[in-house]
């Protein structure tokens, strides 16, 4: 495995033996390479397995990435439970995935980890290193205004979800209100990530690290209000006029 020192090989072997997710991931990678030998450029895992510091209990899902030479080739994206392990298979053409890695979007705090932290199962050309370097280069070049503009878009998602949650609560639609409140928490966490240039491993990590995991309706509303003030101070006010709405640029 690329980047694994000889001194850590025993630890890697022990982890593979202790965690059935690695076995499933490697079998899936081998199956993709065998079935599409001319299409597969690289195969990797992302998420907890890529970080290698989760509990290894085997009850989490496997995030598997298959990179192809050309769009539309290789296997189709899919999610299946294999031998009790949930596998989410992402398939992307190399240039398309690199293009995504070069852009800061409103969901950047939830996607950046997939560009920066991967563990190769098959990567003879070190393509995953190129992916990481392209994204890090994007971050180095990005201006503060890009992150602020993306944060404003994430804020709108949070505001809409929070408003919907409040209305549902008034109607005593408690279950739906809780679902929308969860969306508002995540969007607000994403705004925080964009304003501080911090990315997260997954949605749970995002709300936990931003202190929003247990936030109630009032607390989330207060966070969104503070964020709107900060966005205005950064030149990205969330309020505007009709003319602002239809002006290009």
* Spatial strand order in the sheet of 78-82: 78-82, 85-93, 62-68, 40-46, 119-122
Asked if 149 and 236 count as a contact pair (C-beta separation under 8 A), the reply is yes
For residues 12-18, average pLDDT = 55
For residues 194-217, average pLDDT = 97
The pLDDT assigned to 48 comes to 85
The pLDDT assigned to 145 comes to 97
Mean predicted lDDT score pLDDT of the chain = 92
The pLDDT assigned to 3 comes to 39
Looking at the predicted structure, is the pLDDT value of residue 194 above 50? yes
Q: Please give the share of the chain, as a percent, with pLDDT higher than 90.
A: 85
The pLDDT assigned to 1 comes to 33
Asked if 151 and 106 count as a contact pair (C-beta separation under 8 A), the reply is yes
The pLDDT assigned to 59 comes to 55
Asked if 78 and 90 count as a contact pair (C-beta separation under 8 A), the reply is no
Looking at the predicted structure, is the pLDDT value of residue 9 above 80? no
For residues 43-71, average pLDDT = 84
Fold classification of 6-140 (topology level): Beta Polymerase; domain 2 (3.30.460)
For residues 80-104, average pLDDT = 97
Looking at the predicted structure, is the pLDDT value of residue 30 above 80? yes
Give pLDDT tens digits for 93-133.
999 999 999 999 999 999 999 999 999 999 999 999 999 99
**Where residue 6 falls among pLDDT bands split at 50, 70, 90?**
very low
Domain boundaries, the chain: 6-140, 144-239
The pLDDT assigned to 54 comes to 61
Give pLDDT tens digits for 207-222.
999 999 999 999 999 9
SS3 48: helix
The pLDDT assigned to 144 comes to 97
Looking at the predicted structure, is the pLDDT value of residue 58 above 90? no
DSSP string, 157-211: HHHHHHHHHHHHHHTT-HHHHHHHHHHHHHHHHHHHHHHHT---SSHHHHHHHTT
């Amino acid at each position: 495995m690329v980047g694994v020192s000889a001194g850590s090989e025993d630890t890697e072997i022990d982890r593979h033996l202790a965690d059935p997710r690695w076995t499933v991931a490697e079998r899936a990678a081998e199956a993709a390479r065998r079935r599409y030998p001319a299409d597969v450029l690289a195969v990797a895992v992302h998420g907890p397995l890529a970080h290698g510091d989760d509990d290894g209990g085997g009850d989490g899902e496997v995030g598997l990435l298959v990179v192809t030479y050309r769009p539309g080739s290789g296997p189709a994206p899919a999610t299946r439970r294999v031998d009790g392990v949930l596998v989410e298979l992402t398939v992307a053409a190399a240039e398309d995935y690199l293009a995504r890695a070069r852009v800061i979007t409103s969901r950047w705090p939830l996607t950046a980890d997939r560009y920066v932290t991967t563990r190769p199962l098959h990567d003879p050309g070190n393509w995953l290193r190129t992916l990481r370097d392209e994204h890090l280069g994007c971050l180095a070049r990005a201006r503060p205004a890009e992150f602020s503009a993306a944060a404003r878009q994430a804020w709108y998602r949070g505001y809409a979800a929070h408003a919907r949650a409040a209305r549902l609560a008034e109607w005593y639609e408690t279950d739906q209100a809780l679902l929308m409140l969860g969306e508002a928490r995540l969007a607000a966490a994403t705004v925080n990530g964009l304003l501080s240039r911090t990315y997260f491993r997954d949605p749970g990590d995002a709300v936990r690290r931003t202190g929003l995991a247990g936030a109630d309706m009032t607390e989330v509303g207060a966070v969104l209000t503070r964020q709107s003030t900060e966005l205005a101070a950064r030149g990205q006010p969330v309020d505007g006029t009709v003319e602002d709405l239809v002006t290009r640029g």
